[in-house]
Chain A
């Protein structure tokens, strides 16, 4: 399923707090017009895509993320151009109430009914430089946010219903040359006290309580690391991707060697995402215009298929065919999606339906795909 945003776009996120409807947010990039945030609703039963537009007038959007607690709250990183200087800022926004749940039908032309976002607060970065991304604490109440600004990592506390952002801690990367964070993710494990960041060819882990580095994977990739993601089910595992066309899987307890390396793309890999519930499914998007869905069974939390504990076998309706899928499965590429015609800069799993994902290419095309049915049943049964 495809839809055109009709703008250039790089930023894509699922609406994290929404667990019923399949909804993605796309931020556009345009230097000449008012930028927009497109709220894409996908009706799974009728295969209908519904689109609502929010105006985002402050600048082109480079990164977008949504609060895990409040459906209406999101954060963007945007470019502000002012007298021959470009500065990337970040702000937290609230969308209008009626768009939150997506029940709002907009039969009219979307641009005519475009509504504006309500600004909650700025993440003040005048001292720190360009914002690369904003990450919400994945399990919390939507009060904690990490933002990466040039070589600083900033922890913000959002107070008074997110209307005020207080800098709660920061750390910075010192070293020769221009060190700049490219990406970061918040680990869902360890009670959400760890954040991992990528800068140049290095992966680093940070403890948010002390804001100090806990591990460092030097030369994780031959070239720039573009993105990383934590395995949602195995606490020490994370995936990274970069300009060397590779996707690498790491055990953070052993920083010298990757657990596994995939080399399927023919250009830079911009995005890597674990499926939220079935961590053998790994999605990657690359500037060779391809999206690849891989099945990394051997290093997933279910290397022998869906393992069922003995004591809760009774309440699993699918325990019957368990025996036959005990043998370890092979890692393989499940599917390569070539619908895009320009570089794919973002891929995301839906937060509501674990079998659904969206990918966004530079020309503004958003493609929504499903995990192949056969594989889905293979994993489930």
Chain B
């Protein structure tokens, strides 16, 4: 219908010549839109559509053929006024053509919709019939309903009376039951109290309370109330009594408190009292713990102790806290604060006890027990910790565990130190023993291996013991302290590196007290320590550190990938070890050199060189020197490698000596006894010195045998030189020196790195002796050789 209407309206407006100059059939979509627009216009939707056609002509324009306000008169007038004749004619024909087209369109539309009109008419006719039938049935229904209503009214009128009565009776009955309850209440209460069913009693009392309160003014009720109050007071008294006696354990007490609360006792006071009772009980626990702690050595071990503490005190505290929170939840933050303070105080005392017990444990060696005890302690405290976050119990417990762990570390460090010192004492004894027994003791190398392995095993044991602290199943092992600081700072830096440091220090202290305080440190010990330190520097330290890292830092790095500051570098431990080894070895050289040079010094100083006899053999002291040097060589050879010599033919002893004793020796001091100028001697020695390098007597040594021996021999020979220079020699004195030096030359060259050095020093000794001799007549080299070989 609407579509038809629109179409029908179309011819009225038509399509103006300005609107569609190409003709109506040219722009189908345009037309449709226009048609829709008109429909909308027709149905009052012009506003939405107005925006959609911004370019359209003013809809109010009366000259618009398609506009709603089209005024033919105005339009015609306008046309007539504005257009020339030809255009008028055109528009007339155009108009006629359009009208015709519209007429034919309309006809088509009517034909097309004719069938629809017909069927619609049929349908309407059928509906008319049906409605008529329905109207009859509705009338009938109405009459039936009226009859039903009538009946119903009559029935309810009949029943009304009876119903009212029943209602009243029921009310009376209920009231009577209540009254009966009230009247029975005192006796019931009494019975309950007698039977001890306090809960029941309190429930009754609670139910009756309000009613009694309301009907207080009636004398009978009043009596009941009074009775009730008396009984309740008794009840309260009994409850309090029970509460105070406190023997029946926390849950029952909690029940008492609950009942008392229900009876309207003041909560404040109750919670004070409750806490006081709890305190009493917990204090008893603490006292029993303290008794276990006792002044005498504690009978139960620490694990048992913490178990007792855990089940007794901590369990009790948990119950108290749980009950309290349940009962006095209404108290709000003030109540919670009170509980927290309570827990903090008692917890503090408990911790003090535990710490005292743990302190007693510090001396002991069993770490696993301690760790298990700590674990249990810590685990136990997590429950109250969760319950009472404000009391900070869990934190305090963790702190205690951390402290204990730290102390343990210190203890282990101490233990390691003691072990090291013990090792040293053993070595001392082992070194001293063979001399007493006269038989061959264990070799130095063996001793070294023993010391090294025993220290290593000590370290490993300590590490294993400490490692228990970080075991997975221990409840506190995942605390950040045990993850991070304990591993890196505590174990690695504190324990291992600390031990290595202290070991080095101990070793160095042997160098620092030169025979004054430490007494005689056996030189072999110095040597052994030096080798030990060197071994540590080269291998053991890195091995231990790697071991530590594997055991401990793995945890750390798996948890957080943060950079570990400077811990992963093995450097800090290394430097002192090498330095210590060097110092010890240097000190060894000094000590041994001193022993030999003292011998030489005494031998030079105490002899009367002017009146000595012609030398027949080598002086015994020189033989001692060679013997001692050989002994030292053997000793050092046990622990240190050979080292590098200056390349020289190994059979040079003979040859060099012949050179030394003939040409060189002659050349060296021959002029000094020819009565030429004394300048020559100086000149010669100066020139010689120009070509020889300066000898650093006390120079640091390398880590090998040759270097050590070179150092010792240098020190000894330099001493000999200085002593010779302080004396005056007779002819035979000089010859004796000659013999001695040759002897030394024969035996000492093989120990040193550069035999030239021995030559040089011995040459200088002989030359100095010659200078210090008013009558220098040297012995024939061949005689010297004979004497030496004989000696």
Residues of A within 8 A of B (CB): 4, 6-8, 30-33, 79, 81, 84-86, 178, 219, 222-223, 244-245, 266-268, 287-289, 338, 341-343, 362-364
Given contacts A222-B515, A341-B689, contact A288 B697 (CB under 8 A): yes
On whether the beta carbons of B696 and A31 are closer than 8 Å, the reply is: no
Distance of A182 from chain B, by nearest CB (Å): 10
On whether the beta carbons of A81 and B728 are closer than 8 Å, the reply is: yes
Question: In the docked arrangement, what's the CA distance between A269 and B515, Å?
Answer: 20
Q: Closest residue of chain B to A362, judged by CB? A: B725
Q: Closest residue of chain A to B722, judged by CB? A: A287
Contacting residue for A287 out of B675, B682, B699, B718, CB 8 A: B718
On whether the beta carbons of A31 and B728 are closer than 8 Å, the reply is: yes
B698 contacts across to A, CB distance below 8 A: 245, 266-267
Contacting residue for B678 out of A32, A219, A288, A338, CB 8 A: A32
On whether the beta carbons of B679 and A6 are closer than 8 Å, the reply is: yes
Instruction: Check: B686 CB closer than 8 A to any chain A CB.
Output: yes
On whether the beta carbons of B697 and A85 are closer than 8 Å, the reply is: no
CB contacts under 8 Å to A, within B685-739, are 685-686, 689-690, 694, 696-699, 718, 722, 725, 728, 730
Distance of A17 from chain B, by nearest CB (Å): 30
A-B contact pairs, 22 of them (CB 8 A): A6-B678, A7-B678, A8-B771, A31-B771, A31-B774, A32-B675, A79-B728, A81-B610, A84-B611, A84-B730, A85-B610, A219-B516, A222-B516, A245-B698, A266-B698, A267-B698, A288-B696, A342-B689, A343-B725, A363-B682, A363-B686, A364-B682
Q: Closest residue of chain A to B514, judged by CB? A: A222
On whether the beta carbons of A266 and B728 are closer than 8 Å, the reply is: no
Q: Closest residue of chain A to B733, judged by CB? A: A84
A287 contacts across to B, CB distance below 8 A: 718, 722
Contacting residue for B696 out of A4, A79, A266, A343, CB 8 A: A266
Distance of A342 from chain B, by nearest CB (Å): 7
B699 contacts across to A, CB distance below 8 A: 266
On whether the beta carbons of B610 and A84 are closer than 8 Å, the reply is: yes
Given contacts A32-B675, A81-B610, A85-B610, 13 further A-B contacts (CB under 8 A): A4-B682, A6-B679, A31-B728, A31-B773, A32-B774, A223-B594, A268-B722, A289-B694, A341-B686, A341-B689, A342-B685, A342-B689, A363-B686
Instruction: Check: B772 CB closer than 8 A to any chain A CB.
Output: yes
A245 contacts across to B, CB distance below 8 A: 698
B725 contacts across to A, CB distance below 8 A: 343, 362
Distance of A233 from chain B, by nearest CB (Å): 30
On whether the beta carbons of A266 and B774 are closer than 8 Å, the reply is: no
Distance of B719 from chain A, by nearest CB (Å): 8
Ranked 8 nearest A-B pairs via Cβ: A31-B774, A84-B611, A222-B514, A84-B610, A266-B698, A267-B697, A341-B689, A86-B728
Residues 473-509 of B, flagged 1 when their CB comes within 8 A of A and 0 if not, give 0000000000000000000000000000000000000
Given contacts A31-B774, A84-B730, contact A343 B689 (CB under 8 A): no
Distance of B396 from chain A, by nearest CB (Å): 47
CB contacts under 8 Å to A, within B625-684, are 675, 678-679, 682
Q: Closest residue of chain A to B515, judged by CB? A: A222
Residues 761-782 of B, flagged 1 when their CB comes within 8 A of A and 0 if not, give 0000000000111100000000
Distance of A338 from chain B, by nearest CB (Å): 8
Question: In the docked arrangement, what's the CA distance between A4 and B679, Å?
Answer: 10
Q: Closest residue of chain A to B771, judged by CB? A: A8
B718 contacts across to A, CB distance below 8 A: 267, 287
Question: In the docked arrangement, what's the CA distance between A296 and B685, Å?
Answer: 36
A31 contacts across to B, CB distance below 8 A: 728, 771-774
Question: In the docked arrangement, what's the CA distance between A81 and B733, Å?
Answer: 15
Residues 511-542 of B, flagged 1 when their CB comes within 8 A of A and 0 if not, give 00011100000000000000000000000000
Question: In the docked arrangement, what's the CA distance between A219 and B515, Å?
Answer: 10
Question: In the docked arrangement, what's the CA distance between A4 and B675, Å?
Answer: 20
B774 contacts across to A, CB distance below 8 A: 31-32, 81
B516 contacts across to A, CB distance below 8 A: 219, 222
Question: In the docked arrangement, what's the CA distance between A362 and B771, Å?
Answer: 12
B771 contacts across to A, CB distance below 8 A: 8, 31
A362 contacts across to B, CB distance below 8 A: 725
Question: In the docked arrangement, what's the CA distance between A86 and B608, Å?
Answer: 9
Distance of B731 from chain A, by nearest CB (Å): 10
Question: In the docked arrangement, what's the CA distance between A85 and B517, Å?
Answer: 41
B690 contacts across to A, CB distance below 8 A: 341
Distance of B10 from chain A, by nearest CB (Å): 113
A267 contacts across to B, CB distance below 8 A: 697-698, 718
A79 contacts across to B, CB distance below 8 A: 728
Question: In the docked arrangement, what's the CA distance between A310 and B594, Å?
Answer: 53
A338 contacts across to B, CB distance below 8 A: 694
Question: In the docked arrangement, what's the CA distance between A289 and B594, Å?
Answer: 20
Distance of B605 from chain A, by nearest CB (Å): 8
B679 contacts across to A, CB distance below 8 A: 6
Residues 581-617 of B, flagged 1 when their CB comes within 8 A of A and 0 if not, give 0000000000000100000000000100011000000
A244 contacts across to B, CB distance below 8 A: 514
A84 contacts across to B, CB distance below 8 A: 610-611, 730
CB contacts under 8 Å to A, within B529-575, are none
Distance of B178 from chain A, by nearest CB (Å): 100
Contacting residue for B697 out of A4, A6, A266, A363, CB 8 A: A266
Q: Closest residue of chain B to A363, judged by CB? A: B682
Question: In the docked arrangement, what's the CA distance between A30 and B515, Å?
Answer: 38
B686 contacts across to A, CB distance below 8 A: 341, 363
Distance of A289 from chain B, by nearest CB (Å): 7
Distance of A102 from chain B, by nearest CB (Å): 26
Given contacts A6-B682, A219-B516, A268-B722, contact A86 B610 (CB under 8 A): yes
Question: In the docked arrangement, what's the CA distance between A30 and B675, Å?
Answer: 13
Q: Closest residue of chain B to A5, judged by CB? A: B682
Question: In the docked arrangement, what's the CA distance between A245 and B722, Å?
Answer: 14
Distance of A225 from chain B, by nearest CB (Å): 14
Q: Closest residue of chain A to B696, judged by CB? A: A266
Question: In the docked arrangement, what's the CA distance between A341 and B687, Å?
Answer: 10
B728 contacts across to A, CB distance below 8 A: 31, 79, 81, 86
Q: Closest residue of chain A to B683, judged by CB? A: A6
A288 contacts across to B, CB distance below 8 A: 694, 696-697
B678 contacts across to A, CB distance below 8 A: 6-7, 30, 32-33
Distance of A370 from chain B, by nearest CB (Å): 24
Contacting residue for B722 out of A7, A341, A343, CB 8 A: A343
A223 contacts across to B, CB distance below 8 A: 594
A219 contacts across to B, CB distance below 8 A: 516
A363 contacts across to B, CB distance below 8 A: 682, 685-686
A341 contacts across to B, CB distance below 8 A: 686, 689-690
Question: In the docked arrangement, what's the CA distance between A338 and B694, Å?
Answer: 10
B610 contacts across to A, CB distance below 8 A: 81, 84-86
Question: In the docked arrangement, what's the CA distance between A105 and B773, Å?
Answer: 36
B685 contacts across to A, CB distance below 8 A: 342, 363
Q: Closest residue of chain B to A32, judged by CB? A: B774
Q: Closest residue of chain A to B611, judged by CB? A: A84
Question: In the docked arrangement, what's the CA distance between A81 and B609, Å?
Answer: 12
CB contacts under 8 Å to A, within B730-754, are 730
A178 contacts across to B, CB distance below 8 A: 606
Q: Which of B685, B697, B699 has the largest count of A CB atoms less than 10 A from its CB?
A: B697
Q: Closest residue of chain A to B692, judged by CB? A: A341
A268 contacts across to B, CB distance below 8 A: 722
Q: Which of A4, A219, A267 has the largest count of B CB atoms less than 10 A from its CB?
A: A267
Q: Closest residue of chain A to B774, judged by CB? A: A31
B697 contacts across to A, CB distance below 8 A: 266-267, 288
Q: Closest residue of chain A to B768, judged by CB? A: A362
CB contacts under 8 Å to A, within B50-70, are none
Question: In the docked arrangement, what's the CA distance between A31 and B672, Å?
Answer: 11
Distance of A375 from chain B, by nearest CB (Å): 26
Distance of B529 from chain A, by nearest CB (Å): 19
Distance of B757 from chain A, by nearest CB (Å): 15
Distance of B495 from chain A, by nearest CB (Å): 33
Distance of B614 from chain A, by nearest CB (Å): 14
Q: Closest residue of chain A to B609, judged by CB? A: A86
Distance of B680 from chain A, by nearest CB (Å): 11
